[in-house]
Structure 1
Amino acid sequence: MDTGPERVRPGRPGEATQTNAEQQRRSERLKHERAVRKWSKAQLIHALRSAAAEEGVTLPTDASVSRRIAMWENEGAEPDELYTRLLCRAYGKSPAALALPEAQVPAAELPGASYPETPEEALTTVARLWRADLDQAGALLTAQPEDGASDAASMEWLVAPASASMPEHATGIRVGLRDVQRVKATTDMFAAMDDSYGGGHARPMLMQYLNSEVAGLLTGRYTEAVGRALFSAVSEATLLAAWMSYDTAHHGIAQRYFVQALRLAQDGEDRRLAGSILSAMSHQATFLGRFREATRLARAAQMGISRVTTPTLRAQFHAMEARGLAGAGDVREAEAALAKSARALETQRLEDEPEWITYFDAAELAAEAGHCFRDLAKAKQAVVHAQGAASGHVRSDFFATMVLADAHLGAGDLEAACATALDALDLGEQLKSARAVTYVRDFRKHLLRFADTAAVQDLTGQAAEYRQWNRSG
């Protein structure tokens, strides 16, 4: 979509000199970033389109984008929020590093970070989020997670009284269990696409489905039993929206979806699902470097479903606890949590588990352990665990293989690291995932000190044909 001509932001009276200086600095910085990569305009356009595709956004013609680039680089024009975000992703730099302004996020445009007090509030809030997301509201898509919001939501859920009565609607379509099953089946379909192709592939389609189909069901007429089942199913769909948003680096809206999914699970009286949502929130917190928060959320999941837990859920929650502890550098506690996870998994009986958690098996635990030992700088142990992490799930296997490459590098085996990184790039070729790009970018940073070696030069030559490598440059 063409968002119209760029305009230089006008300064306040008396600030003309400062504004000109800002424009010059922006112009020089953007020219420099393209020059050091030896990119033509066409290559930058390609990188911007790749970044846009991860968000499900379609850019205008090459000629239109080229005119924008000329205005940014030659006149210091200020890109709008969308192009600021895409430039940052294409260059792997923050707005400040590119002399671009941070997005101003009006609080009124950002619902959803607070835990709803009632089921009715939950319905209204999640519908607003879906609509704003579908409309690509810039402030929402660029928002950062709110400090303390996840912790506050976990506490609200832990101390919540018995669920309130289901909303009663005098109008709207009549909803039955077949409608609920259709929501669950459709969510499963989107989850399979997410697993194979990354969050950037199907996220726009999921948002369209939630807006066009599911929103109407929530405001329909249903019995108490159907309402509970519906809320649980919609919680699972909203959890998937959170995962997809997290995978595409929309971390603020991902946090909001997690919070709203947690409330919907409460009203759906699905305590196991609620625990899994807290575990997912822990996963995101670890990725963002909020390690103590990640540990608290994983422990809240364990505490909150202790009466209805299963071995696989316990194993997964302890693994998330270990990830947070490892990120914080707590070797003893991280290893203890991994041991608890392994013991829990030994008693797994798949027939007694919720279907959506059965993916967590020995291979998934090995992958989590590989991450932990990599973060704890125990490279040889990371290698051992990451080598046993093949699960058959494309994105998970990509992450585990990149961890293995990093672990080989940490253990001093440069050739194995480079060969394994190529394997990962081959696995991840079909992924639209900002997280995947981050893994590759981090690995490339670790390779810099070996840049003059034959192994790295050979890897660089072969990797140039892979999308994740090019997006991470």
Structure 2
Amino acid sequence: MIDPHEVVAARRVLGRQLAKYRQAAGLNQHQLAPYTHYGRSTIANVEVGRQNVPRRFWERADAVLDAGGALTAKYDELASLVQRQRREIAQASVARREAPHDDSGVLSGLLGHSLATVDQGRQATAALHEEVVNTTVTAGADRLLQLFLQLDAEVGGDDLYEPMTRHVGRLARAVDASPRPATLHSLGQLSQMTGWLALDGNRHGAARRNFTTAVYVAHETDDGSLAASALAYLSLQATYRDHPKRAQALAATAVQAAAKAPTPLVRTMLETRLARAHAKLGNRPESLAALGEAQEAYGRAGAADEPLWISYVDEIEVNAQAGACYLDLGLHTQAGAALARAIALLKARRPERVRDHVHYLSRLAKCRLLAGEVEHACQTGMEALDLALTIGPSRVVERIGEFDAALASVNTNAARDFRERFAVFARSR
């Protein structure tokens, strides 16, 4: 499979070629920009490989820089590479759907692809995966959850949903045969994870069923934090589906369910879900108050042992959730600042979380558009699209589509190019 970094490297090579021909022609970026029908910042971003532009840009650059078609030819090579990458992703998806239901093979393949795109330090997870595959259906739940949490961050829910569903089905049958507390606890945790994978792939019925199972099992095992977390996921699902009143009611119920002193990270997550629901309803004081509670709770993190399933809550997540709330509340400047912080932290600490990176960039693009920075917004949207090519979740299309919809009335070259490219991307999914 084509490494995503190969595409990035090819784009940078093309950008350097543009800079070389521009300098040879005695033009600066400001002087070249009008000939391409783009702004200087686009030229600057293209030259360092940060922005993708269509073929007609390269045809114009070839003509004005007297490059003899070299730039267009190099662009065609890049476009061919991207098309091959898309075909490989599509073929792999079909193969996974048609292959026999061998979870270990699916997981091995996913993990192999994942490890090819992250730093070598994460290769320790391969040993973890080997151990998980060889455990019984009722053993190693924490190890399996850890593996799926990693893979979910790197490749998204679409590829992981089916193997996890099959494992949870076997676990449920084991519970029916022998409802031991440890087995029930494993079923609750993994049902919640399966619900999230379903939600990430827009399988809303399956998501609701799995979250409801997690709530039921959590009550059976007297695990108030897990019950509250599963309710909070149901709230998030309602937020995604634009049912803010239901989302707010579920989030409030989740906070109440965890009233017996939840751990700091669990409290942080619950308050951000409540803040998101209030933001969707336009309840600014209530949303900001819940965000304040979340930030206060996060400040106490590390003071208690946390369940493994809450390990995704970190400083990146807190900033990203704040950015989403500010955006829904119409506080675009604050939203942009929070999302920019989340992205900077993500790049520095967790670069493998590609799916999150795409979501944050999509929201940041919308912030910049609302601030009147059309070209900057489209550049950010293009960056989100480039990253989205390497992952699978259906919700990614939905999130970038929100920015595409916001661009509908904008009639600039950058906006038209983004809409054209997004249409191709959406059709490929």
> Aligned-pair distance for 1:216?
3.9
Which structure shows the higher helix fraction? Answer: 2
Distance, in Å, in 2 between the alignment partners of 1:255 and 1:220 is: 24
Distance, in Å, in 2 between the alignment partners of 1:444 and 1:471 is: 16
* Corresponding residue number in structure 2 for 1:399: 359
* Corresponding residue number in structure 1 for 2:28: none
> Aligned-pair distance for 1:383?
0.4
Q: In the TM superposition, what are the counterparts of 1:319-468 in structure 2 within 5 Å?
A: 319-349=272-302, 351-390=304-343, 391=346, 392=350, 393-450=353-410, 452-460=411-419, 467=425
What is the percentage of aligned positions where both structures have the same residue? 27
* Corresponding residue number in structure 2 for 1:67: none
Contact 2:323 2:336 in 1 (8 A): yes
1:440-467 Cα distance to aligned partner (Å, 9 max, x none): 11211111111x31222343566677x4
1:47-71 Cα distance to aligned partner (Å, 9 max, x none): 9x96995997559xxxxxxxxxxxx
Contact 1:54 1:434 in 2 (8 A): no
Distance, in Å, in 1 between the alignment partners of 2:92 and 2:232 is: 29
* Corresponding residue number in structure 2 for 1:214: 171
Distance, in Å, in 1 between the alignment partners of 2:190 and 2:95 is: 18
* Residue identity opposite 1:270 in structure 2: D
Contact 2:137 2:167 in 1 (8 A): no
Distance, in Å, in 1 between the alignment partners of 2:97 and 2:136 is: 33
Distance, in Å, in 2 between the alignment partners of 1:362 and 1:348 is: 10
Distance, in Å, in 1 between the alignment partners of 2:185 and 2:95 is: 27
> Aligned-pair distance for 1:439?
0.8
Q: In the TM superposition, what are the counterparts of 1:163-182 in structure 2 within 5 Å?
A: 180-182=138-140
1:124-163 Cα distance to aligned partner (Å, 9 max, x none): xxxxxxxxxxxxxxxxxxxxxxxxxxxxxxxxxxxxxxxx
* Corresponding residue number in structure 1 for 2:210: 257
* 3-state SS in 2 of match to 1:448: coil
> 1:205 pairs with 154, 163, 175, which one?
163
* Residue identity opposite 1:381 in structure 2: Q
> 1:289 pairs with 222, 242, 247, which one?
242
> Aligned-pair distance for 1:184?
2.9
Contact 1:271 1:308 in 2 (8 A): no
Change (3 A) 1:55 1:285: farther
* Residue identity opposite 2:412 in structure 1: T
Distance, in Å, in 2 between the alignment partners of 1:291 and 1:51 is: 38
> Aligned-pair distance for 1:178?
7.7
Distance, in Å, in 1 between the alignment partners of 2:298 and 2:94 is: 35
Contact 1:239 1:277 in 2 (8 A): yes
> Aligned-pair distance for 1:326?
0.6
Q: In the TM superposition, what are the counterparts of 1:64-213 in structure 2 within 5 Å?
A: 180-211=138-169, 213=170
Contact 1:55 1:200 in 2 (8 A): no
Contact 1:232 1:268 in 2 (8 A): yes
1:15-47 Cα distance to aligned partner (Å, 9 max, x none): xxxxxxxxxxxxxxxxxxxxxxxxxxxx9xx99
* Residue identity opposite 2:215 in structure 1: L
* 3-state SS in 2 of match to 1:449: coil
Change (3 A) 1:52 1:259: farther
Change (3 A) 1:55 1:312: farther
* 3-state SS in 2 of match to 1:352: coil
* Residue identity opposite 1:400 in structure 2: Y
Change (3 A) 1:208 1:446: same
Change (3 A) 1:464 1:259: closer
Distance, in Å, in 2 between the alignment partners of 1:455 and 1:372 is: 27
Change (3 A) 1:56 1:308: farther
Change (3 A) 1:366 1:380: same
Distance, in Å, in 1 between the alignment partners of 2:261 and 2:136 is: 26
User: Any unmatched runs of 5+ in structure 2?
Assistant: 1-82, 100-134
User: Any unmatched runs of 5+ in structure 1?
Assistant: 1-42, 60-176
Distance, in Å, in 2 between the alignment partners of 1:398 and 1:187 is: 23
Distance, in Å, in 2 between the alignment partners of 1:57 and 1:421 is: 30
Distance, in Å, in 2 between the alignment partners of 1:411 and 1:55 is: 44
Contact 1:52 1:58 in 2 (8 A): no
Q: What TM-score comes out, normalization by structure 2 length? A: 0.64
Contact 1:228 1:269 in 2 (8 A): no
* 3-state SS in 1 of match to 2:321: helix
> Aligned-pair distance for 1:340?
1.3
Contact 2:362 2:384 in 1 (8 A): yes
1:249-273 Cα distance to aligned partner (Å, 9 max, x none): 1112211111111101111222211
Change (3 A) 1:178 1:309: farther
* Corresponding residue number in structure 1 for 2:18: none
* Residue identity opposite 1:433 in structure 2: P
Change (3 A) 1:374 1:471: farther
> Aligned-pair distance for 1:203?
1.1
> Aligned-pair distance for 1:335?
1.2
Aligned length: 302
* Corresponding residue number in structure 1 for 2:126: none
> Aligned-pair distance for 1:283?
0.7
* Residue identity opposite 2:176 in structure 1: T
